Amino acid sequence: MKHFLIGYAGNAGIRMMTAQDARSLSHINLAFGVIRDGLLDTSRLTIWDSLHQLRGWNPDIRIVLSVGGWTAGGFSEMAATPRGISAFADSCGKAMDLYGLDGIDIDWEYPCSSAAGIASNPADKVNFTALMRALRGVAGDRIVSIAAGAGPYFTRNTEMDKVAAACDYVQLMTYDMRGGFDRQAGHHTGLDASRGDEDGMTVRRAVELFHKAGVPRDKIVIGAAFYSRKWDGVPDVNHGLLQPAESVGNYGPGYDKLLAEYIDKNGWGSYWDEDAKAPFLFNGRSFISYDDPRSVTLKCRYLKQEGLRGIMYWEHASDNTHTLLGAMAAELGRG
C-alpha cells in the first residue's frame, strides 16, 4: 500500500510550496472554505491560480478543499434539515467542478459541541452522518474525507462506523491532544504516553479509539504538528514534564521558529521522552511540546506497521525549512 502524505495549507502555505514539496505530498488540503448562509464560501482562499503549478510539479497530487476549522460555524444549522444538507452538498459539487478539485474534506469542530464557540445540537450526531452521505453522493469518485478530533468527545458524538463508510479516509487530528484547555504541561502530539500519564490521549490511543468505533485501519490517517504548544509558569521538576502550569497550553511557535530561536538556544534545553517518542523544550519556567524529524519519522514507521492509510500535518506554513515534510517523505518513500 502506498501511504498518503497529506499537507494542510492555507494561502501562505500554498505560496511557499516548492517543487520538492509537491512531489513529496500525495494530497494537499486547502484550508479553508467556510459555510456562509448555508452554502460553501471559498472567498478566503486566494491561491486558485497556483494550483496548475502544483499539478505541473506533481501530476498525481490530489488537491482537496477543506471546509471548516476551529471557530468555523454554520455546520449545525446547515445540517439540521435534509434541504440544508442538499443545498450545501450541491455547492461543494459546484466548487469542485469550478476549481478542478479532487475532493472535499469536512473539518467540523465539533458535532454536538460548542467548545469552539459555534452552534451545536444533540441532533448533530445523526445529521453529521447524513451530511457525509450526501457529500459522497455529490462527489462521485472524488475524495470525501473528514478531520476528526482525537478524543472520545468525537467518537461519542458521531456515528463513526457510518461516517467512515461514506469517507475515503478519516484524518485524526492527533495534535492539540493536550493544550488550550489543559494546565498540565505535556505532549500535545505524542505517539505514546509519558511514564505516569495514564489517561492522556496519544496517537496510538486515538487510533485504537477510532478503530473500535468502526473506522477500518486502512482508512485512518494520523496527524503530525508543524507548530508547538507552550505552557508558562511550570515548576522546574522533571524538566517541566507533566507538571502543573500557570497557563494552559497556548499555541506556540512553528517548527522553523523553534529551530531558529528555541532549540538549544536562548536558555532553552531540548529533551527527548523515550516513552512518548516525543521531544520537548524547557527553560526552567516554560515548557514547549512539538514534533521534530525523529518523532515524525517514528509516527510514519508506526503507521506502516499498523497498516494505517497515512499521515497528515497542520500546517505547511509553519516550517519554511521544509525539514519535517522531508523527514516524513524520506520514511514513506515519497518525493
Q: Is 159 annotated as catalytic? A: no
Three cell numbers, residue 218: 486502512
Tell me which residue of 143, 170, 8 sits closest to 62, measured CA to CA. 143
**What pLDDT, on the 0 to 100 scale, is given for residue 199?**
87
Average pLDDT over residues 262-278: 98
Pairs from 230-236 (Cβ < 8 Å, separation ≥ 24): 230/286, 230/287, 230/288, 230/289, 231/183, 231/185, 231/286, 231/287, 231/288, 232/285, 232/286, 233/285, 233/286, 234/185, 234/282, 234/285, 234/286, 234/287, 236/282, 236/284, 236/285
Residue 121 has pLDDT above 90, yes or no: yes
Residue 335 has pLDDT above 90, yes or no: no
Fold exhibited by the domain 4-226+290-332: TIM Barrel (3.20.20)
Judge if pTM exceeds 0.75.
yes
The set of residues, in sequence order, having a beta carbon less than 8 Å from that of 6 and lying 6+ positions away, is 25, 26, 27, 28, 29, 171, 221, 310, 311, 312, 313
Catalytic residue selected from 109, 159, 315, 331: 109
Domain boundaries, the chain: 4-226+290-332
**Model pLDDT for residues 292-308, shown as the tens digit of each residue:** 999 999 999 999 999 99
pLDDT band at 57 (very low <50, low <70, confident <90, very high): very high
**Model pLDDT for residues 158-187, shown as the tens digit of each residue:** 999 999 999 999 999 999 999 889 999 999
